[in-house]
Amino acid sequence: MVSVTSLATVRSALRVSITAVFTALIAATTVVFSIYIPATRGYFNIGETMVYTTALLFGPFVGAIAGGVGSMIADLLLGFPHYALGTLIIKAAEGAIVGYLGNRIYELRAGSKLRISSTLIATIAAGLVGYIGATYYTGPAELSIGLPSTGQITVSVVVPFFFWLILAILIFVVITAIGFGRQPQFSLLALAVLCGGAEMVLGYLLYQVGVLGFGWAALAEVPFNVGQALVGLVISLPLVRAVRKRMPRFWA
């Protein structure tokens, strides 16, 4: 029979291992894959996706450590050391917020109010994705894969307007359908991600104004940071739902 102490030791070791693995994954996904829209100077990577996925799967502690440290390492690798300290704090807070709210949402019981809330959240998320995407991420784009220091593969693509329209409709349908399904709690995970994303957007704005001295020019970055959060939302929610169906929560 396994003692309580032994079980606690195993779970602590497992949490440390998971934190290390997902710290590396967050750094890698942030660095290796990016899309740049020259016309609007819009830029995003999928690092935010892994921050949200980590926090929703493993909770606020792992989400904060992996999100903060992994994103900071990515800044250093990409040649942005002046952002490293700010990123460490901002992304750690983001991971903690998403992980904490996600844990609370998992505990909610299904009901009519939960389903109505899911429809409202679906409308907000779809509207933001459609507007931000169509306004700032439409047109000729450069898709880059690889590390800048070792060479990147860059491919020219075109992101059409209707792509964001279709994506917005899909987001609304999927979140609403989940809200009226057997596990409506999952639809509210979008709210956790939106709250964490709002902290990230505000955090970088304050850091750029107060620490880097960008002044009002920092406001120009806000739509792109919002877009980054929304891309993370779109990819992370179905990924988390799929993983949780097959993965026991030893770390809880």
**Residue 120 domain flag:** yes
**Residue 66 domain flag:** yes
**Residue 30 domain flag:** yes
Q: How big is the CA angle at 52 (ends 39 and 199), to the nearest 5 degrees?
A: 70
Look up residue 18 and give its two tokens: 């998971």
| Whether pLDDT at 146 is above 80 | no
CATH number of domain containing 34? 1.10.1760.20
Which tops the pLDDT comparison, 220 or 152? Answer: 220
Structurally, the chain folds into a number of domains equal to 1
Please answer whether residues 206 and 145 qualify as being in contact, where contact means their C-beta atoms are separated by less than 8 angstroms: no
**pTM given for the model:** 0.86
**Residue 125 domain flag:** yes
**What's the pLDDT band for 250 if we cut at 50, 70, 90?**
very low
**Residue 251 domain flag:** no
Q: Which is it for strands 33-37 and 139-145: parallel, antiparallel or unpaired? A: antiparallel
**Residue 250 domain flag:** no
Which tops the pLDDT comparison, 5 or 131? Answer: 131
Segments forming the whole domain that contains residue 78? 4-244
